[in-house]
């Protein structure tokens, strides 16, 4: 048994629990109850810290460490592998092949067993990677495209002078002024129209790679000679290319891209490799052609070679086995060249899980964070078999899960609750799954053993229709479908069927309703034809799972505008007014009010010799972010730091009589986010939580008529009880006159929709077709739909 004593991570309240090894253990509970704090923050964290104690301090610098858990003791915990829903492969050069390590095998296959042109020299496997000097195309350096700057792109209006901003690509504010001042110092005419400047001057200003030289007049400055100018001048071309290739800011990269011309590399044709590598083929395709095939198709292409002796048989057999693992987890539609940042967090986690199936590890604990996220019910059964396979191989599987089908298949259940935040943090039950029937306080019990009846049809009548014709983007090829307006429509289908793509097409088509030009596909494929009848869409709002912010300075209170209200409350107190403190004083981003030691971050970076850089609570403010003078101001006995430390549920009671604050807090609770702290940093929020924060911000507005809302799997990461709360809010939007279009796998949400569009039948090239449309009952009766039997079972007999 693995035994935990006195766990106090996050909201865990001195938890003591024991779970078996060699079993599939499901951790359940409402969102924010503390199940992840127990599985990841306590059990996995403790296992990792024990492992790190055995490696050298230098090696520890190379590993991403989790925070040391607050727990009295953890005994019996084997080595652990965590597969979390977080994006740890952000590089655009990272692909499905590199994450799964199958790219290495594919390169080896081409190197050892490929068909070479007559007389060609056999290449090393590195020559088949665009990320190495040996393999990258020498013309585009492995990018596949050429980025160039021209005078026209840098100076769009040549009637302007340099002082008037002719060089549009220059940075704004003081940086641009410095560049203009430098040119003035060098003798260039800043007030002459750009087109009237000598060609040599224009060329030097835009494209020089040399430092300027100042000409010295010997009569005026005797004894001085010509010298390189010591100021830092960078040509407009260099500044643009540097910002595009090196900036970590997406906004800065996007601005730089506006001044670049992009074209497909003429040498490699966009395939990123040098010609010698592209000349080698296997099974009739070069390596880029093989990597572009969906995993299921690639496996079929390689199958005839698995029976061969020698390297070809060995490598293709290994590849086929790895590809089969992807198919089992519902990822057969992915190609090896698919960019990792385009994958959902659920897809990334299952991709790593498929890799682990081939690792051959024994005696470890796999800790998984909702592996069913993004899975169609048809694929969930395969996931259950994979978890059982890991257990049968001699491992333990700890899975944080909301899907009741996965929970039912577990050997052991740990239910945490009873509520979220401070209302949770207790282990309500630990034992065989069936024993949870006897725990009345469990929110999971009802959905596991006695699910609520299916929702009754609402009988809404569409106010119009958005007609999509010939939609062609990604795997949708010439799709014709009608999206009813003024109702809630669920887009269903297996993973990779084209649900998200259809949402994007509908949003693009609805924007302005101007036909093909308004809905041009961003990937350059044929545009979407669209027309709205009976109720044109005036506004399109997309709720995706992108982060609210990338720094800890962005948090729940700042994003929703709640902090503005809180700051005004504190500034209005008698003590603040007597001291002359305005609302800005209570912002941790303003020097006057924030802690000078950590500059409002609440933590300081600690450099440790031979160890990874660590963050420690600020010794001056204790993590509060504010200076002592600011914290002397109290509102109803609480400082501004105290308010930010409260959860949404706690703050709702504290600020119930403040209308502006109550409105924000109410909507956050309505979408199931009552457990979040007001000051919770944006990077700590999951994708599903970020999406629901955006929805809550929208719910505060009154004008929703003729608005099309697009949501991509909003119930991801939600307990069924929380999912029901969110679904009610979506219907609230429709009742207010809006149209809601949602891509979903949740059968409760689908069953309660007014209209369903089912795509499939498979993923990738096997999907992209409309299989059935209509009411949930009508789609449930469709013989061609993989969703139909699961939806019919949820609807039950009518």
- Which pLDDT belongs to residue 78? 92
Q: What DSSP character marks residue 583?
A: G
Range in 101-105, 301-305, 694-698 the model is least confident about: 694-698
- Which pLDDT belongs to residue 535? 57
Q: What's the predicted TM-score (pTM) here? A: 0.79
- Which pLDDT belongs to residue 188? 86
Tell me whether residue 50 is exposed, middle or buried, using C-beta atoms within 10 angstroms of its C-beta: 0 to 12, 13 to 18, 19 or more: middle
Check if the beta carbon of residue 645 is closer than 8 Å to that of residue 520: no
Q: What DSSP character marks residue 43?
A: I
Measured CA to CA, the distance from residue 6 to residue 16 in angstroms comes to 6
What is the band of 196 on the pLDDT scale with cuts at 50, 70, 90? very high
- Which pLDDT belongs to residue 443? 93
**Closest to 170 measured CA to CA, from 230, 235, 79:** 235
Asked if the 556-684 domain carries CATH number 3.40.50.150, the reply is no
- Which pLDDT belongs to residue 510? 87
The CATH label, of 1.10.8.280, 3.40.630.10, 3.40.50.1370, 3.40.50.300, for the domain at 148-264 is 1.10.8.280
The DSSP result for 138-197, as a single string, is TTTTTSSEEEE--HHHH-S-TTSBTTTT--TTS-SHHHHHHHHHHHHHTT--SSSBGGGS
What is the band of 216 on the pLDDT scale with cuts at 50, 70, 90? very low
- Which pLDDT belongs to residue 574? 96
pLDDT average, residue stretch 485-490:
96
- Which pLDDT belongs to residue 521? 36
Share of the chain above pLDDT 70, in %: 88
Indicate whether 739 pLDDT > 90. Answer: yes
Pairing of strands 24-28, 396-400: parallel
Q: Which phi and psi (to 5°) does residue 449 adopt?
A: -115, -25
What is the band of 481 on the pLDDT scale with cuts at 50, 70, 90? very high
Q: What is the pLDDT of residues 573-587, one digit of tens each?
A: 999 999 999 999 999
pLDDT average, residue stretch 204-229:
56
Tokens of 774: 């209509």
What is the band of 418 on the pLDDT scale with cuts at 50, 70, 90? very high
Residues 6 or more apart in contact with residue 400 via CB below 8 angstroms: 26, 27, 35, 36, 39, 40, 367, 368, 369, 370
Indicate whether 477 pLDDT > 70. Answer: yes
3-state secondary structure of 88: coil
Indicate whether 88 pLDDT > 60. Answer: no
Range in 102-116, 203-217, 239-253, 694-708 the model is least confident about: 203-217
Measured CA to CA, the distance from residue 738 to residue 703 in angstroms comes to 9
Q: Is the dihedral of CA 776, 781, 782, 787 positive or negative?
A: positive
Range in 290-294, 542-546, 749-753 the model is least confident about: 542-546
Q: What DSSP character marks residue 408?
A: H
Given this chain, do its domains 2-79+363-448 and 464-546+688-795 carry the same CATH topology? Answer: yes
The CATH homologous superfamily for domain 464-546+688-795 is: P-loop containing nucleotide triphosphate hydrolases (3.40.50.300)
Q: What is the pLDDT of residues 129-175, one digit of tens each?
A: 998 999 999 998 888 888 888 888 889 899 999 888 888 888 776 66
The CATH homologous superfamily for domain 2-79+363-448 is: P-loop containing nucleotide triphosphate hydrolases (3.40.50.300)
Range in 76-90, 375-389, 780-794 the model is least confident about: 76-90
Indicate whether 12 pLDDT > 90. Answer: yes
Q: What is the pLDDT of residues 33-71, one digit of tens each?
A: 999 999 999 999 999 888 777 766 666 665 656 667 899
Specify which residues 227 forms β-bridges with. Answer: 214
Indicate whether 718 pLDDT > 60. Answer: yes
Q: Domain extents for the chain?
A: 2-79+363-448, 148-264, 464-546+688-795, 556-684
Specify which residues 740 forms β-bridges with. Answer: 488, 709
Q: What is the pLDDT of residues 503-521, one digit of tens each?
A: 999 998 887 544 333 333 3
pLDDT average, residue stretch 290-305:
94
Indicate whether 346 pLDDT > 50. Answer: yes
Measured CA to CA, the distance from residue 101 to residue 301 in angstroms comes to 19
- Which pLDDT belongs to residue 382? 85
Place of tokens 């949402």: 503
Q: Which phi and psi (to 5°) does residue 377 adopt?
A: -55, -30
Indicate whether 522 pLDDT > 50. Answer: no
- Which pLDDT belongs to residue 219? 54
Range in 54-68, 170-184, 401-415 the model is least confident about: 54-68
End-to-end CA, the chain: 47
| Mean of all residue pLDDT scores within the chain | 86
Give the number of residues written for the chain. Answer: 798
């Amino acid at each position: 048994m693995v035994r935990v004593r006195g766990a106090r991570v996050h909201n865990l309240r001195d938890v003591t629990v024991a779970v078996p090894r060699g079993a599939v253990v499901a951790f359940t509970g409402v969102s924010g109850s503390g199940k992840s704090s127990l599985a990841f923050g306590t059990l996995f964290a403790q296992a990792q810290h024990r492992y790190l104690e055995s490696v050298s301090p230098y090696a520890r610098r190379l590993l991403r460490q989790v925070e040391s858990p607050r727990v009295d003791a953890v005994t019996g915990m084997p080595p652990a592998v965590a597969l979390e829903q977080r994006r740890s492969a952000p590089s655009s050069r990272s692909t499905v092949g590199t994450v799964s390590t199958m790219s290495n095998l594919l390169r080896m296959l081409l190197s050892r067993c490929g068909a070479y042109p007559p007389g060609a020299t056999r290449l090393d496997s590195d020559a088949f990677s665009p990320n190495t000097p040996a393999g990258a195309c020498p013309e585009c350096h492995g990018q596949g495209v050429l980025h160039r700057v021209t005078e026209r792109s840098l100076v769009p209006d040549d009637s302007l002078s340099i002082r008037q901003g002719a060089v549009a690509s220059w940075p704004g504010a003081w940086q641009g002024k410095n560049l203009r001042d430098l040119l003035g110092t060098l003798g260039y005419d800043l007030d002459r129209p750009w087109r009237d400047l000598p060609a040599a001057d224009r060329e030097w200003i835009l494209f020089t790679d040399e430092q300027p030289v100042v000409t010295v007049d010997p009569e005026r400055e005797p004894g001085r000679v010509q010298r390189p100018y010591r100021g830092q001048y960078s040509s407009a071309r260099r500044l643009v290319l540097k910002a595009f290739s090196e900036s970590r800011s997406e906004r800065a990269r996007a601005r730089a891209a506006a001044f670049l011309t992009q074209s497909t590399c003429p040498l490699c044709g966009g395939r990123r490799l040098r010609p010698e590598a592209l000349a080698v083929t296997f099974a009739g395709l070069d390596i880029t052609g093989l990597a572009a095939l969906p995993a299921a198709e690639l496996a079929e292409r390689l199958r005839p070679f698995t029976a061969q002796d020698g390297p070809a048989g060995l490598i293709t057999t290994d590849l086929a086995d790895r590809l089969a693992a992807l198919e089992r987890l519902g990822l057969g539609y992915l190609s090896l060249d698919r960019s990792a940042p385009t994958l959902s967090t659920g897809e990334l986690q299952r991709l790593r899980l498929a890799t682990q199936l081939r690792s051959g590890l024994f005696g470890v604990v796999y800790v998984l964070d909702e592996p069913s996220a993004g899975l169609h019910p048809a694929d969930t059964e395969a996931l259950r078999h994979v978890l059982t396979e890991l257990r049968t191989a001699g491992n333990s599987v700890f899975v944080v899960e909301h899907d009741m089908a996965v929970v039912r298949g577990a050997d052991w259940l740990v239910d945490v609750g009873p509520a979220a935040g401070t209302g949770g943090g207790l282990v309500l039950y630990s034992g065989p799954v069936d024993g949870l029937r006897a725990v009345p306080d469990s929110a999971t019990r009802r959905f596991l053993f006695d699910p609520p009846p299916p929702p009754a049809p609402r009988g809404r009548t569409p106010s119009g229709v958005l007609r999509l014709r010939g939609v062609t983007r990604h795997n949708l090829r010439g799709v014709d479908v009608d999206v009813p307006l003024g109702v809630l429509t669920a887009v269903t289908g297996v993973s990779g069927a084209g649900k998200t793509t259809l949402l994007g097409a509908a949003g693009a088509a609805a924007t302005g309703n101007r036909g093909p030009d308004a809905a041009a596909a961003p990937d350059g494929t044929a545009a979407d034809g669209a027309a709205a009848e009976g109720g044109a869409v005036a506004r399109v709002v997309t709720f995706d799972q992108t982060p609210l912010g990338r720094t800890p300075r962005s948090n729940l209170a700042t994003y929703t505008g709640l902090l503005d209200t809180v700051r005004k409350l504190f500034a209005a107190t008698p003590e603040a007014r007597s001291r002359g403190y305005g609302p800005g004083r209570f912002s941790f981003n303003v020097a006057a009010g924030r802690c000078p030691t950590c500059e409002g971050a609440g933590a300081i970076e600690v450099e440790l010799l031979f160890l990874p850089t660590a963050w420690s609570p600020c010794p001056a403010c204790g993590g509060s972010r504010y200076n002592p003078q600011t914290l002397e101001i109290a509102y109803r006995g609480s400082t501004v730091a105290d308010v930010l430390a409260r959860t949404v549920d706690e703050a709702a009671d504290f600020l119930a009589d403040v209308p502006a604050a109550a409105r924000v807090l109410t909507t956050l609770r309505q979408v199931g986010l009552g457990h979040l702290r007001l000051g919770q940093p944006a990077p700590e929020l999951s994708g599903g939580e970020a999406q629901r924060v955006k929805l809550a911000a929208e719910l505060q507005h009154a004008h929703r008529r003729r608005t099309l809302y697009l949501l991509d799997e909003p119930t991801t990461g939600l307990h069924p009880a929380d999912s029901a709360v969110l679904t009610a809010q979506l219907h609230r939007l429709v009742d207010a006159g809006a149209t809601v279009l949602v891509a979903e796998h949740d059968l409760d949400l689908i069953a309660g929709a007014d209209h369903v569009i089912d795509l499939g039948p498979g993923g990738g090239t096997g999907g992209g077709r409309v299989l059935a449309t209509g009411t949930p009952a009508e789609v449930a009766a469709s013989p061609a739909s993989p969703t139909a039997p699961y939806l019919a079972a949820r609807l039950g007999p009518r």
